[in-house]
Chain A
Amino acid sequence: MTSTLTRPAPSRLPRRTRRLIISGIVLLAAASLVTVAVMPEDSFGGSLAKLVTAIGTVAGFTLVMTRSASWFLGNAPDSELDERERAIRDRAYFKAYGVFAGLAIVCAFYMLDLGPDLGLWTPEGHSQWWAIVWAFVMLGLGLPAGFVAWDLPDPVTDFDA
Chain B
Amino acid sequence: MHNRIALLRAERGVSRKDLAEAVGVNFQTIGYLERGDYSPSLELALKICRFFGVPVEVLFSLDPFQPLTEALLRAETNRTSPETTS
Q: What residues of chain A have their CB less than 8 Å away from a CB belonging to chain B?
A: 1-2, 4-5, 7, 9, 81-85, 153, 155-156, 158-161
- Mask, B15-44, CB within 8 Å of A = 1, is 111001100111111111001011011011
Question: Chain B's nearest CB lies how many Å from the CB of A92?
Answer: 15
| Complex Cα gap A75–B6 (Å) | 31
Question: Chain B's nearest CB lies how many Å from the CB of A139?
Answer: 29
Residue from the list B16, B21, B25, B43 in contact with A84, Cβ < 8 A? B25
B32 touching A161, Cβ below 8 Å: no
Q: Which 6 A-B pairs have the closest CB atoms?
A: A156-B31, A82-B25, A1-B24, A84-B29, A5-B21, A82-B26
Residue from the list A1, A2, A159 in contact with B27, Cβ < 8 A? A159
Residues of B within 8 A of A85 (CB): 26, 29
Residues of B within 8 A of A83 (CB): 25, 29, 40-41, 43-44
A160 touching B15, Cβ below 8 Å: yes
A156-B28 contact, Cβ under 8 Å, with A83-B41, A84-B38, A161-B15: yes
Residues of A within 8 A of B25 (CB): 1, 4, 82-84
Question: Chain B's nearest CB lies how many Å from the CB of A112?
Answer: 44
With A83-B41, A84-B28 given, name 11 new contacts (CB 8 A).
A1-B24, A4-B24, A82-B29, A83-B25, A83-B44, A153-B32, A155-B28, A156-B32, A158-B31, A160-B16, A161-B15
